[in-house]
Amino acid sequence: MNKFKSSLIELLNENARYSNSQIAAMLGEKEDVVAKAIKELEDDGVILKYSAVINNEAINPEKVQALIEVKVAPQKLNGFDAYARVIYSFPEVQSLYLMSGGFDLAVFVEGKNLTDLARFVAEKLSVIDGIVGVQTHFILKKYKVEGQITDKDDGLVRQIIQA
């Protein structure tokens, strides 16, 4: 990938709402060149989606999110991809990654409440043939999401207590 497209991607990653004219000015290019490059990046599958980074805790504090570590027995000729296709088809799944280390797949899920996610793990995820273990970690608080700090300084100072 050339330097121009790399810089373009960095700018869109910083703020996907930049207009083509703003990007052109920042990169010293013509607006039509920027528009063409963006279209190529979309067509090539480099840019998959434009989205806003939302602080869900600010709008829906009851929503529950979790990271689920999944250990699987890889299927002959399919490896981990067959499991991934089944798992990412569930609407609760927000992100799915193949990992190195102590587990195979990292599944980020979201539900209306704790019961919702417990049901997902018990009735959908752990019943998939070949899954040998799951470990669920509930997200209690997000401090930074997609490079954006969510934890605003509320001015509270914790009192030091000595025993």
Task: Tell me the whole-structure pTM to 2 decimals.
Answer: 0.74
Give tens-digit pLDDT for 36-91. 999 999 999 999 988 887 777 778 778 899 999 999 998 777 789 999 999 999 99
**Gyration radius from the chain CA atoms:** 21
CB 105 within 8 A of CB 72: yes
Q: Report CA-CA distances (Å) from 130 to 40, 75, 89.
A: 39, 8, 17
* DSSP secondary structure string for all residues of 87-130: HHTSTTEEEEEE--SS-SEEEEEEESSHHHHHHIIIIIITTSTT
CA distances from 45 to 4, 38, 82, 88, 157 (A): 17, 11, 21, 18, 47
The full length of the chain comes to 163
> What percentage of the chain exceeds 70 in pLDDT?
95
Mean residue pLDDT of the chain comes to 90
Residue 103 backbone dihedrals phi, psi, to 5 degrees: -140, 170
**Residue owning tokens 């910083």:** 14
Burial of 106 (0-12, 13-18, 19+ CB in 10 A): middle
Domains, the chain, with CATH or none: 3-43 (1.10.10), 62-141 (3.30.70.920)
Give the tens place of pLDDT for each residue, 143-163.
888 888 887 766 666 677 776
